[in-house]
Structure 1
Amino acid sequence: MLGQMATISGANSPSGSRFFTYEVTGLRQNETNDKNKYPVRKSGSVFIKVPYNRMNEEMRRITRMGGTIVNIHPINSDS
């Protein structure tokens, strides 16, 4: 119907509950990532937890901040 919008929750689909950990190196501290709740060191690795439905968006954000994704691991929902 007009004016009504169905909300689709990602948690209802099998992919909605999947999470991955990105290991990122080379991030620079700048105005974009100053908004993060954690400090960024250029020399160290940063581990970022990402839901499946935001993987592509997060990859672009990491690239804009000067980072390189060196590893991606799935996070098992069993553990």
Structure 2
Amino acid sequence: MLGRSALVSASSAPSENRVFVYEVEGLRQSDQTDNNRYPVRNSGTIAIQVPYSRMNEEMRRITRLGGRIVAIHPQSEYTASQESSEG
């Protein structure tokens, strides 16, 4: 580990704790999407929570499945906007 102290754990990096929400449209139900932990609807957008460390991988997966990312928000910002729209 060049440049990193042995006393600092890997999880103390600020990027490790960041989670983003992808708003995705155009995902279709298929054999691949049947393996997801969430159902896919044909209409509207779905929100997928993605850790910072997997953002690039998830973008490629969404594109491969035929989806389009319409927005990316930090989870805290997305949660706050959802709560204010409900109230």
TM > 0.5: yes
TM-score range, shorter chain: 0.7 to 0.9
3-state DSSP class of the match of 1:39?
Answer: coil
Q: Counterpart of 1:4?
A: none
Decide which moves more: 21-30 or 38-47: 38-47
CA-atom RMSD in angstroms? 1.6
Deviations 1:14-36 (A, max 9, x none): 10000100000000111111001
Question: How far did residue 37 of structure 1 move?
Answer: 2.2
Structure number with higher helix proportion: 2
Q: How many residues align?
A: 69
Counterparts of 2:13 and 2:42 in 1: how far apart (Å)?
37
Give me the identity figure in percent.
Answer: 59
2:25 partner letter: T
Counterparts of 1:15 and 1:49 in 2: how far apart (Å)?
15
Question: How far did residue 39 of structure 1 move?
Answer: 1.4
1:52 aligns with 2:58: no
Counterparts of 1:54 and 1:67 in 2: how far apart (Å)?
17
Runs of 4+ residues over 6 Å off in structure 1: none
Question: How far did residue 75 of structure 1 move?
Answer: 1.9
TM-score, length-normalised on structure 1? 0.79
Question: How far did residue 66 of structure 1 move?
Answer: 0.5
Deviations 1:33-69 (A, max 9, x none): 1001221112121100000010000000000110000
Could you tell me which runs of 5 or more consecutive residues in structure 1 were left unpaired when the two chains were aligned: 1-7
Q: Counterpart of 2:74?
A: 74
1:37 partner letter: R
